[in-house]
Structure formats: structure tokens, C-alpha cells
Amino acid sequence: MHFHHLGLIGYGEVGKIFAAGLLPHLTSVSAWDLKFAQPTTQAEQRAHAATAGIQAGEGMAALCANSDLIISAVTASNTLAVAQEAAAHIRPGTVFLDLNSASPGSKQQAAALIDCAGAHYVEAGVMTSVPPYGIRVPMLLGGARAAELAPVLANWGMDAQPVSDKLGVASAIKMCRSVMIKGLEALVIESYATARAYGVEDHVLPTLAETFPSIDWQRQGAYFFSRVVQHGQRRAEEMRESAQTVREAGFPPLMAAAVADKQQWVADQAKAGAFQDLAKDAPWQDYADRLLTARKL
């Protein structure tokens, strides 16, 4: 496999990181995002792309026409819609790398759309938050072309490991992990905020440290609050896909669905302005206090 022109679908946090990190390895990097066309966001987003040396596209058709490798990095709820739109324009032989946090079933449906257009679908399970790692974020690849694509990505400095030629395996690993990680976030937020409401946090956290001494519960709590406040909507969508993964396995997704609801609730609080002007690195107590204030309104 040899690639010269990368097209990114999605120019959010992840898209921007991958665009900047992969640009030195390719002839061109272009991107398409709905924000490029919206009056309230197009100027800022297009200016960012121009400054970074990224070509801001005019639509999906133009992006597909100019790309031999396409990376889809959108929210989980848009996984299938993006694959469907791309399939209408993608050139035969193009590789479509799907980074989105979707269930195995959703990835298999997306793959069918892309493969029917004569292109090659590869799923990726991104195994942790992208920002600390950049393009070196650990990811698992699945699909018929996963083993062939992996060394190309490795040559660009990416940490991409093929796990199966069967679609859905990489996503199943990712989604099962998400039930735990996003579940811990939701549990910490609910436990800490409730402890703060009763004034017992100085008793609760030491018991957690006693049971799990390897975790800095103050620092971890602050990180969990911060990430959910910033990305709760995206996390809620991912957890709905995790719930679907559990459902596809034949189990009722009682826990995953509840976690999705909690993530959505925090996202709604953030949208309503509960955390306005609060520093991202604020202690968890400050985040909890904002929730307590919002509760009293």
C-alpha cells in the first residue's frame, strides 16, 4: 500500500491532531467537516485548517475525489451516515479507515457500504484518549486489509496493531473497554458529587485509596470530571454504541445504558453553562460544586 493524499472526515479534536501529525508524511491532507459550511463556525474552522496547512474541502464528493486514504473521525452516532455518504463518492481502491467508536454491528454495516463501492474498509478501535498520545495513540485494526495497512501506519509513527481479518473484533475490544472506563467516569462523578453534597468526601476518598492504593483518587477524579465536562456528548454517544455492543451479544445493556445517561446528563449541564469559565485543570471539588449549584437552581 502506498498513499499520497489523505482525506479526513471530521475536523474536531481528533481530526485536527491526526491532520497535523500525518501531514509531514503525505503529499497533501484535506478535510471535510460540516463546520466548514456552517455560518457560525466556517470562518474559524477554515482559518485553523489554512494555518495548519490542511485543505478545507467543499464537501464529501470533493474529499473522496482527491483522496487515496480516508480517515473517518466523527461522533459515534454519525458512523453509518458518514460511511453511506462516502460510499456514494469514494473511488475504487481507496482505503477507508474508520476510527469511530461504534459497535461491531455498526462497523460491519459501514464496511458493507464501503466495500460495495469497490473501496477497502478497515476498522480501528482507538484504545485510549487521543490528545496525550497524538497520532501514536494505541489502536487496533480489523478487516481484510488490516494487516496490510498496519505497517504503513507504523512507518508514519502510529501505533496500529492488526488483531483480526474479521470485522467487529477490534470494535468489540474497544467497546468492552469503554463500558469499564466510561463507567468509572460516571461512577466517580456520581459518587464524588454526592459525597460533596453530604460533606463526607474526606472520609470517602481515603477508603478508596485504601482499597485501590495505586490510584491517586484526587487527581483521577479531577481528570474524569474534566474529560466528561469537555466531551460528555461524544462519550454518551459512544456509550450508546457500547450498549448496542452488549445488546448484539445477547445481554441487556443495563450498566452501559445507565452510563450513557449519566454522560449525557453531564453534557447537558455543560451545555446549560454549569461549568462556564471553569479551568480544565480545576480540582474535582470545583466541578462538583458547580453541579451542586445547578441542582439548587
Question: What residue spans define the domains of the chain?
Answer: 5-167, 171-296
CA atoms in the 13 A half-sphere facing the CB of 32: 20
pLDDT score for 46: 96
Could you read off the pLDDT of 108-132 as tens digits, one per residue?
999 999 999 999 999 999 999 898 8
Q: What is the mean pLDDT of residues 261-275?
A: 97
Q: What is the mean pLDDT of residues 39-44?
A: 95
In the sheet with 139-142, reading across from the earlier edge strand, the strands are 55-56, 28-32, 5-9, 69-72, 95-98, 120-126, 139-142, 160-164
Specify the fold of 5-167: Rossmann fold (3.40.50)
Is 247's pLDDT higher than 90?
yes
- When the pLDDT of each residue in the chain is averaged and rounded to a whole number, the result is 96
Q: How confident is the model at residue 297 (pLDDT cuts 50, 70, 90)?
A: low
Specify the fold of 171-296: N-(1-d-carboxylethyl)-l-norvaline Dehydrogenase; domain 2 (1.10.1040)
Is 296's pLDDT higher than 80?
no
Judge whether 5-167 and 171-296 match in fold: no
pLDDT score for 194: 98
pLDDT score for 280: 86
Residue 157 main-chain phi, psi, to 5 deg? 95, 10
Look up the pTM and report it. Answer: 0.90
Q: Taking the CB of residue 155, how many other CB atoms lie within 10 A of it?
A: 9
